[in-house]
Amino acid sequence: MEWLAEYGLFAAKALTALVVVFIILVMVASLRGRQRRGEGVLQVTRLNDQLADMTDRLGQAVLDKPALKALHKSRKQEARARSKGGADRDKVFVLNFNGDIKASALESLRHEVTAVLELATPRDEIVLRLESGGGMVHAYGLAASQLTRVRDAGVPLTICVDKVAASGGYMMACIGDRVLAAPFAMLGSIGVVAQLPNFHRVLKKHDVDYEMLTAGEYKRTLTLFGENTEKGREKFQEDLENIHRLFKQFVSRYRPVLNVDEVATGEVWFGTEALQKALADEIRTSDEYISQRIRQADVFEVHFHRPKKLQDRLSSTMSAALDRLLLTWVSRLYNQRFW
């Protein structure tokens, strides 16, 4: 019993020390987070070096000594050629945009474009790897405006679509001087959609009144809980048609080779079909194109991000853990594998 009491006292002291250390770490992280609030980090990766490192690792595993020696010799020759070229070598800046319905990646894109345009010249190139199925009109309108800054600056802009650039995503893609699409990438969806449920009859059934006061004839056209009128529906449809008209005008401005009336039906086309419809200029993946440019120029991948606060990181970790737990439980329940 005496040993057990001593062990309990030791455990209590150790636990107290751990709690104190944890509190100190949280306070330090919180202070650092407050100091860096609003700041972001611009990460720049030279893809030429990244590819060379991967090739060297693979070569060490699969090549014999003479072949490996020849590879190293060719690397040195390429390095000498680059040093002779110096500042005269062309530069390619690679950006990434993975869009959701709110175009959340816009925050990074606007900083990346601003930074690159400070250095890029008309002899350089900006390559945007774009993946988006579209989303909110105002959000993707602003995202597209960031790319028009590149066009206005006279810097060549190449858009690479490996999976999808639809609706607002294609609004961004059409700004490129060239649009490259993978064979089964989805492009198009030049249209506008809006949908919402209406609970008026449910409320009426349960004798619930819903009041909405507005100033202005068309301040609110369709509502979730009020009784919608035919006049409101007509105005809402008129607004959608107006947005669609502006969408088509925007696409026509930046892609005059496209027959907008033929493709502005809300449909999507896969890579080779998109090429036939002039929605794309070439069938090629972003990996293939960037690998080619690495042999011709200095290629830099640019990414801007804001460090997450401690509570955000903890929340993301907990959310990911719960998702994995739920997926594991469901897979065991149904005896299936989820990929």
Active site residues: 167, 219
Q: Is 157 helix (H, G, I), strand (E, B) or coil?
A: strand
Tokens (6 digits) for 11: 């455990």
**Residue 14 neighbours by CB under 8 Å, 6+ apart:** none
Report the distance separating Cα 152 and Cα 188, nearest Å.
Answer: 24
Q: How far is CA 280 from CA 4, 44, 177, in A?
A: 75, 29, 10
Report the distance separating Cα 115 and Cα 93, nearest Å.
Answer: 11
Residues in the chain: 339
139-142, Cβ contacts within 8 angstroms, sequence gap of 24 or more: 139/102, 139/103, 139/106, 139/168, 140/99, 140/103, 140/167, 140/168, 140/169, 140/171, 140/172, 141/168, 141/171, 142/103, 142/106
Place of tokens 């400070």: 118
Report the distance separating Cα 290 and Cα 265, nearest Å.
Answer: 32
Beta strands in 274-324 (DSSP E): 282-283, 298-305
Q: Concatenated DSSP letters for 132-151? A: B----HHHHHHHHHHHHHHH
Report the distance separating Cα 231 and Cα 235, nearest Å.
Answer: 6
